[in-house]
Amino acid sequence: MNEIFTLHVNGEDREVRDSWLGENLLDVLRDRLGLMGAKGACEQGECGSCSVLVDDELVCSCLVMAASATGQAITTVEGVAPVGAPSDVQQAFVDAGAVQCGFCTPGLIMAVHDLLDRSPEPGDTEIREELAGNVCRCTGYGRIIDAVQQVAVARRSAGGELGAST
């Protein structure tokens, strides 16, 4: 049974026409809306590659029924920053060597933005605990932690400068 419904993705209303009822948000984003940024790697919420924000909550989109997300604000990695103008977290991943194969990266970008929005200066254990739902098989996580810390430091100093000038 197909239903037509509307999802609010990255600030735009997107009509979903050919989805089957019960299709998960990951498949709808990728196969129906052409947003290929979220990745599927385990189909059971273990790896975090499909992480997106739904009403500012970090979720595994493979575990969310797409039709249940109507009326909620969905943010995918494509909504983080314009193409060619990466966010501070995205740029830090590139600069710190946090990207190898890159398959886990879009999910981690979402998780790190979410972490730093909630906790601007996370300690090492907090970073590890908060990101433990995102599996990376290439990096051993060291450079990712470095990237997170670089952003936290940069944001603090930027905030400090801003504070001094006002």
**Looking at this protein, which amino acid is placed at residue 20?**
W
Beta strand 5-9 with 12-16: parallel, antiparallel or unpaired?
antiparallel
Q: Which stretch binds another protein (CB under 8 A): 65-73, 87-95, 113-121, 156-164?
A: 87-95
Q: Alpha-carbon distance 99 to 78, whole Å?
A: 17
Beta strands in the chain (DSSP E): 5-9, 12-16, 51-54, 57-60, 73-75
Q: Which stretch binds another protein (CB under 8 A): 7-15, 70-78, 149-157, 158-166?
A: 70-78
Helices 105-118 + 124-131 axis angle, to 10: 130
CB under 8 Å to 46, separation ≥6 — which residues?
135
- The contact mask relative to another protein for 26-65 (x = CB under 8 A, - = no) is ----x-----xxxxxxxxx-xx-x----------------
Give the residue, chosen from 72, 91, 149, 155, that forms a contact with another protein under the rule CB under 8 A. 91
By CB under 8 A, tell whether 80 contacts another protein. Answer: yes
Contact residues for another protein, defined by CB under 8 A: 20, 30, 36-44, 46-47, 49, 76-78, 80-81, 83-84, 86, 90-91, 93-95, 97, 99-106, 109, 125, 127-129, 131-145
